Chains A and B, each alone.
Chain A
Amino acid sequence: MEYLAWLYYQYLLVTGIYVLEPWEKSIFNSVLFSAVAMVIYTSYVFVPIHVRLALEFFSAICGGQPESTMALMN
């Protein structure tokens, strides 16, 4: 718990939020939190699909030649 308080203090110092008034701190924190939440949601929804498509694309290039000639002959 102490460690989390220290981490929050470091975050305040490094981003420069430490000097702002409390309501400005809240605005910045909420904007940052919503941006990070959107990034996480988007990655949760789209990353598996993109990874699967990418793997298919690369496997089609590398090991795909024998398969296609067989398909043609058949």
Chain B
Amino acid sequence: MTADFVRHATEQPEHWPVQSQKQYDWNRENISIEIKNHRQEDFEKAPMHVAVLTYLGFGIVTLFGYFRDFLRAVGLEKRNLAQEREEQKEFVPLYQDFENFYTRNLYMRVRDNWNRPLCSLPGPVIDLMERVSDDYNWTFRLTGRTIHNVINMGSYNYLGFAENTADYLETVADKARHYGVGVCSTRQETGTLDIHVELEYLVARFLGVESSMVFGMGFATNSMNIPALVGKGCLILSDELNHTSLILGARLSGATIKVFKHNDMVHLEKELRDSICSGQPRTHRPWRKILIMVEGIYSMEGSVVRLPELIALKKRYKACLYLDEAHSIGAVGPGGRGVTELFGVNPADVDVMMGTFTKSFGAAGGYIAGKKELVDYLRSRSHSAMYTSSMSPPIAEQIIRAIKCITGHDGSTEGIRRIRQLAENTRYFRAKVKKMGFIIYGNDDSPVVPILLYMPGKVVAFAREMLERKIAVVVVGFPATPITEARARFCMSAAHTKDMLDEVLHHLDEVGDPDGEGDS
């Protein structure tokens, strides 16, 4: 079996099926028809009184924060967090900036809604360990009881591959018995196993590109490989709402970074034109490379990138495109192959396709795929390939079995059933929530559903109420989202049955207010 894969890996690229063979017409009308087919999302603005009340709420809690800080400084109250040492009182203060203030006075009050420990696999229902606090969330205590069968609306389990059924995991257990679990080496030394070669071949064929490389960690795939691709004298145009790993990789590379408004192609074109005209910062020479960094689905908004317009722009201005499909691979598209399939775009047009296996495949790690020259270059130049340990064999086998399931190569229709189930769940949930009157962001096809709650008190009360009713949701507030747009984020999964979704919708109806502000 191993020899087959070595032979396949050296086959000519023409034998590998390319995703979409049709010629893409760059005529403007065709592009706008494609965009209309995937209805553009609108980010509905909050009513004015909601914005005012949100600021009011934050203002009042900030005032109380100053009051409590004063009490702590005077000595009337015990200090629970880090504080300056007595001997260093004349030194520059360490804990007075806004971030520490926010953590001490806002986050600590409500932090029982995050970091909740689970004690089961992250499937459609989970078990939570019960955790109480006696001193208003400064310390926690586990009572020893477990909350069973909480419906899980927070895990990125889009296709339901986070499962522990024995017959599905048979091959994974075999590989663990054969290879062990640790690889004890980096890719360049002795860490490239035949299972990695098989996995890379499968990933490349799945995406419809020439070649791919897999890494052990998804965050490190972005932050360690972008510095290998661009450097000083290059230009990076990155979307406003890009993930931290992309921003970190961009900053680490030393290239000039310009940010364009979220999904705004007009602004991007303007930035491109201005940058190309003015050139590199001081010398005004032409840029060595221009890289546009976007994501397939943005995890906080649920919006989808406008791929056909981007490809037209990229070709016109001779830039390169870096597409991060962390949330969209496996979750969108009729065959689960991501945004390129969703829009019917030739995957060879995207220069660097990146993705992670954490979300739809139920494993860990990331990949970068594209032309053979690109991937071969990365194999020798990437920090991640040289210094981090390679992917663990049972995890690689889990990804292999997931890809085989999705494409139908294991002989069953389970993959297609899951993709269709996810699409149906997404459509059903979004339609119902919109009908209830909530404000949702994002494209109608994306399985990430953020429900806007705006006010800090409502966000916290929502999370606690839903836990009372045995539904686990993820709520996000200020540092990860703009200060007035706190939200609760629901992640659809193919493993959710219609009954589970109906129960969640029923409780959402009770807890939420029909005006879309949350919490009745």
Q: Provide the bound-state CA to CA distance between A63 and B469, in Å.
A: 69
Give Cα A58–Cα B455 distance, bound, in whole angstroms.
46
Given the contacts A24-B64, A28-B60, A16 and B136 also touching, CB distance less than 8 Å: no
Q: A14: which B residues are within 8 A, CB to CB?
A: 53, 56-57, 455, 457
Cβ contacts B449-463/A at 8 Å (1 or 0 each): 000000111101100
Asked if A18 and B460 make an inter-chain contact with CB atoms under 8 angstroms apart, the answer reads yes
- State the Cβ distance, B204 to closest chain A Cβ, in Å: 50
Is A47 an interface residue when CB atoms closer than 8 A count as contact?
Answer: no
CB of B60 within 8 A of CB of A13, answer: no
**Distance to closest chain A CB from B191 (angstroms):** 48
Chain B residues with CB under 8 A of A9:
519
User: Complex Cα distance A15/B52, Å?
Assistant: 11
Give the distance to chain A from B106, nearest Cβ to Cβ, in Å: 7
Decide: A18 and B457 in contact? CB cutoff 8 A. Answer: yes
Bound Cα distance from A14 to B458, whole angstroms: 7
Q: Contact between B519 and A13 (Cβ–Cβ < 8 Å)?
A: yes
Residue of B106, B136, B457 touching A13 (CB-CB under 8 A): B457
A36 at the interface (CB under 8 A from B): no
Instruction: Report the interface size for chain A: residues with CB under 8 A from the other chain.
Output: 15
Which residues in chain B, 99-135, are within 8 Å of chain A measured between CB atoms?
106, 109-110
* A interface footprint on B126-167 (CB within 8 Å = 1, 0 otherwise): 000000000010000000000000000000000000000000
Q: Tell me whether A15 and B57 are in contact (CB under 8 A).
A: yes
Decide: B520 and A19 in contact? CB cutoff 8 A.
Answer: no
Contact A16 B109 (CB under 8 A): no
Q: When the two chains form their complex, are residues B520 and A6 in contact, meaning their CB atoms are under 8 A apart?
A: yes
Q: CB within 8 A of B457: which of A6, A19, A24, A28?
A: A19
Chain A residues numbered 40-63 whose CB sits less than 8 Å from any CB in chain B: none
Q: List the B residue with the shortest CB-CB distance to A12.
A: B457
Tell whether, in the assembled complex, residue B61 and residue A13 are in contact, meaning their CB atoms are under 8 Å apart: no
Residues A19 and B53 in contact, CB atoms below 8 Å apart: no
- Given A13-B461, A15-B56, the answer on whether A20 and B109 have CB atoms closer than 8 Å is yes
A54→B80 CA distance, assembly (Å): 58
> Is B58 an interface position by the 8 A CB rule?
yes
Partner of B64, one of A6, A13, A20: A20
Contacts of B455 in A (CB 8 A): 13-14, 16
Q: Which one of B56, B64, B136, B460 has the highest number of Cβ atoms from chain A below 10 Å of its Cβ?
A: B64
A16 proximity list for chain B (CB < 8 A): 56-58, 60-61, 455-457
**Which residues of B are at the interface with A, using a C-beta cutoff of 8 A?**
53, 56-58, 60-61, 64, 67, 106, 109-110, 136, 455-458, 460-461, 519-520
